[in-house]
Structure 1
């Protein structure tokens, strides 16, 4: 779960309001009229018009941040009850996302409209208020969630009823993003041009920083520190308030982004693809589970499904917790794996709880050296998922997968185009096996791949951990582990591919097979098997109760 430092690529300055002169007002009106005419010309040609249902119901200063005077202080209810008065935790998320909220609105920031960087697209920047969450007495001004939303519209739209939403981070002191330089918007421009589809970039998921009035530390919390705090509060004080869990408003912010895309870009858009990294990938999973408009989901670097089973598997692998989970460790959540209330939280926030709803095509993008998640996490949930489901491991990259972005954008285009063109996806199956001398992966496919490769990495630590992270904790700071994947031989017999790795004399080996296929319209799709880790044993016993508190490694 990437830290808020990832949002440092954008300025932290808030635009100050200046005295409005007649000349400035005249210029502003001219800019607004120009942008509106430009947008209408683009959309009327391509999709027969555009509907805008909430253009300026919230007062915005120049920087786009809602003024406190314009925000409703009416708090939403904090639970979802059935007719008997009990809480149906499995319906909390859907009910909250479907619940109307008078705070929802959006406003175009015309001075940030960009046309010309990529001649075939126009990018509009909006300020969107997604919801009122929690109560102002609990979180202050952060009970109203607002976001920058950049909507990139290609001139040549191929799929007029579909759009892609890229969920990303940011803090609520950011200036509006500059489409000419923001990395995430530049990726969206590339996707919009390549796919011929509207692509939106949703920022500030979650809204942050948040200072909870009940938080004795007085911290301005960001990212995982917010999630960990809301989970602890749910366990210890508010099990009847599942909407307190941060994943709930994060999910609704994505739902509202989809609403805004349909309203602002074209009312014809009623099908969506979602992608996001880390906790934004978590939000993509959960939104796909509760919103029927999602037709494809591509979560990146988030595979903590079957949360309880996977957390126990962490401990058996590391005899502790990766340093990346420090915020959860500090809130003592690792000592609560046997807490009955965890079951209630799981019903709300664990994507595997929605496996019967997650039937759309799924492309799970993972890192072989992730500092947050272990490479064999998929062993605890993948077989339970239904429908078209692919895994794509990237070798030699950690939780921050930016260095693989070129490949990822290329593969997302292949996956989305396959779905849109009703292209036949390859049917792939594999088996993992091992004995005292070696391990194998046997992968069979009904389509002949363009290319097949296998990768292997060996553990390098001396502490006996089953550990393939790119960085590990040493003297209270992360340092490189020097765990690297290298290519290994793959044998082929027709469309059966076999990778074999010798059992190491000490430590563990992790390996997987990668296959590249032709996709629709000459694109490519790369998929992998799950990893096989040998020897197939864990170095440590499972933990129980307070013993699970452990240590950071």
Structure 2
């Protein structure tokens, strides 16, 4: 994850004058209210032709000992030219072909990894190199899947966008600003829409250039959300691996303030614009959720294999976020939580996940994925059923103190550091997830039963909280896990949502 200090400086650069100019620009660019609703807005936006769409083979080739990369240039669209500069979305698209690739693998999907470009020098066709972390990540995943082809689409979303006369923004700055447009009227101008369109256009290009017409889509953070959006509108997507992105936003916000007593510092771009605190009071909130939150069109991913990857120590999301949306996700679906991981955003983190993702894709293609099911009891205990794993681990961590249900590695205030050390990024806590191996099977108050596990750690002392989950491993690198449960089953700030008394940054 990029340093918070860098992002803070970008946000502060606009200053009050920048915010005033942005608000004035939004007024001048006011559009008529949208006539579409929900998923239809996404589908209409992605399907609409755009005269700016263009691509070319640069002729540049990247050499790696295990693969060759063909470098393409893509203009996916022109987005909000009356408000946003630059309006053209330019991308570098690299097709990776392993040296072990053969015609026998031509029916395998192409692993399409949607990635951001560098925040200081956006990736272009002329400065991307074979050693790039995002290219290496995609290549490693494709290798683990069985020498499949892979592709990396850079600069999604387009970075350094200038809304009106405000300062250029990146990532969450751009996304939150696009959400703020809904204060004017419900028009489909959220950043997620051009992100999905860029991905669909990249698939169009790979089809025209290399005859590829099926894809396994993966992305991190907001690009993880993009996996759901794109799969819902394009049947060429045959599997998705959304990484580090929770769905069902409205209850997620409620859960966050109940557990933390405020919003995590990582969400400051949204909090500084008053979105999380006040958006639910706006007239366009339900319209916004229906379009942008993939939770509201999960039914469109029926029969699509999904591997949802979470981070146990995510800077944005509570570790037990799956309980708010996993039951509504249609089969087939699997989950994996990365222990001791902050928010997952970059290629180095994805490379570490290559054995898990590659094994998942290979097993899905051969229809050999094992069963893993679980339930969380009212006591917080986890019951799980799994098909012949080679190893089972219990992962658990204890909250920093008895004030917040906080399992992050960094909290906001360095001067308030009850169980860690101050650092440039805030309080570096000593919250660590540790594992222990479990026997072949275990049940409460009963004999062992093959294929079933039950666990409920004791509540920690001093009024703190304990988070835990079960991880299962199979030969070939596949690892899956249950959702995270937290005990005791209480929250420290039950009256927080909507009170306005505890919704700052923590």
1:292 counterpart (228, 232, 235): 235
d(CA) in 2 for partners of 1:363, 1:144: 32
| Bigger mean CA deviation after superposition, 529-538 or 473-482 | 473-482
d(CA) in 1 for partners of 2:466, 2:297: 33
- Report if aligned partners of 2:96, 2:150 keep a CA contact under 8 Å in 1: yes
d(CA) in 1 for partners of 2:5, 2:138: 21
Matched, 1:443 2:400: no
Alignment correspondent of 1:131: 77
Matched, 1:307 2:249: yes
1:533 counterpart (478, 486, 499): 486
Deviations 1:19-44 (A, max 9, x none): xxxxxxxxxxxxxxxxxxxxxxxxxx
1:264 is displaced (CA, Å) by: 1.2
Quickly say closer, same or farther: Cα 1:433–1:89, change in 2 above 3 A: closer
- Report if aligned partners of 1:335, 1:546 keep a CA contact under 8 Å in 2: no
Quickly say closer, same or farther: Cα 1:294–1:212, change in 2 above 3 A: same
- Report if aligned partners of 1:153, 1:192 keep a CA contact under 8 Å in 2: no
- Report if aligned partners of 1:335, 1:547 keep a CA contact under 8 Å in 2: yes
Alignment correspondent of 1:28: none
TM-score, length-normalised on structure 1? 0.78
Alignment correspondent of 1:507: 464
Alignment correspondent of 2:445: none
Compute the RMSD of aligned alpha carbons.
Answer: 2.5
d(CA) in 1 for partners of 2:32, 2:328: 29
Larger radius of gyration: 1
Quickly say closer, same or farther: Cα 1:128–1:264, change in 2 above 3 A: same
Alignment of 1:131-150 (within 5 A): 131-135=77-81, 137-140=82-85, 142-150=86-94
Alignment of 1:21-170 (within 5 A): 86-111=35-60, 113-115=61-63, 117-119=64-66, 121-135=67-81, 137-140=82-85, 142-155=86-99, 156-157=101-102, 158-161=104-107, 162-170=109-117
d(CA) in 1 for partners of 2:193, 2:155: 14
- Report if aligned partners of 1:80, 1:91 keep a CA contact under 8 Å in 2: no
SS at match of 2:470: strand
d(CA) in 2 for partners of 1:365, 1:455: 16
Alignment correspondent of 1:323: 265
Alignment correspondent of 2:356: 411
1:351 is displaced (CA, Å) by: 1.1
Deviations 1:460-518 (A, max 9, x none): 135x1111111111148423111101113534131112223111122100000000124
Q: Structure 1 runs of 4+ off > 6 angstroms?
A: 3-7, 77-81
1:143 is displaced (CA, Å) by: 1.4
d(CA) in 2 for partners of 1:400, 1:88: 31
d(CA) in 1 for partners of 2:213, 2:2: 30
- Report if aligned partners of 2:76, 2:201 keep a CA contact under 8 Å in 1: yes
Quickly say closer, same or farther: Cα 1:549–1:456, change in 2 above 3 A: closer
Alignment correspondent of 2:173: 225
Unaligned runs of 5+ in 1: 8-76
1:451 is displaced (CA, Å) by: 0.8
SS at match of 1:498: strand
- Report if aligned partners of 2:32, 2:185 keep a CA contact under 8 Å in 1: no
Matched, 1:517 2:470: no
- Report if aligned partners of 2:254, 2:497 keep a CA contact under 8 Å in 1: no
d(CA) in 2 for partners of 1:467, 1:127: 43
Deviations 1:123-143 (A, max 9, x none): 0111100011112x3112x21
1:440 is displaced (CA, Å) by: 2.5
Alignment of 1:137-536 (within 5 A): 137-140=82-85, 142-155=86-99, 156-157=101-102, 158-161=104-107, 162-170=109-117, 171=119, 173-176=122-125, 177-194=127-144, 195-213=146-164, 218-234=166-182, 236-239=183-186, 241-242=187-188, 244-266=189-211, 269-303=212-246, 305-339=247-281, 340-359=283-302, 360-400=304-344, 405-423=350-368, 425-433=369-377, 435=379, 439-445=380-386, 447-461=387-401, 464-475=403-414, 477-488=425-436, 490-491=438-439, 492=441, 493=448, 494-505=450-461, 506-518=463-475, 523-536=476-489
Quickly say closer, same or farther: Cα 1:3–1:356, change in 2 above 3 A: farther
**Larger RCO: 1 or 2 (CA < 8 Å, sep 6+):** 2
TM-score, length-normalised on structure 2? 0.85
d(CA) in 2 for partners of 1:471, 1:395: 15
- Report if aligned partners of 1:434, 1:535 keep a CA contact under 8 Å in 2: no
d(CA) in 1 for partners of 2:88, 2:4: 19
d(CA) in 1 for partners of 2:488, 2:279: 27
- Report if aligned partners of 2:123, 2:155 keep a CA contact under 8 Å in 1: no
SS at match of 2:412: strand
1:4 is displaced (CA, Å) by: 10
d(CA) in 2 for partners of 1:143, 1:91: 24
- Report if aligned partners of 2:143, 2:358 keep a CA contact under 8 Å in 1: no
d(CA) in 2 for partners of 1:341, 1:4: 30
- Report if aligned partners of 2:261, 2:502 keep a CA contact under 8 Å in 1: no
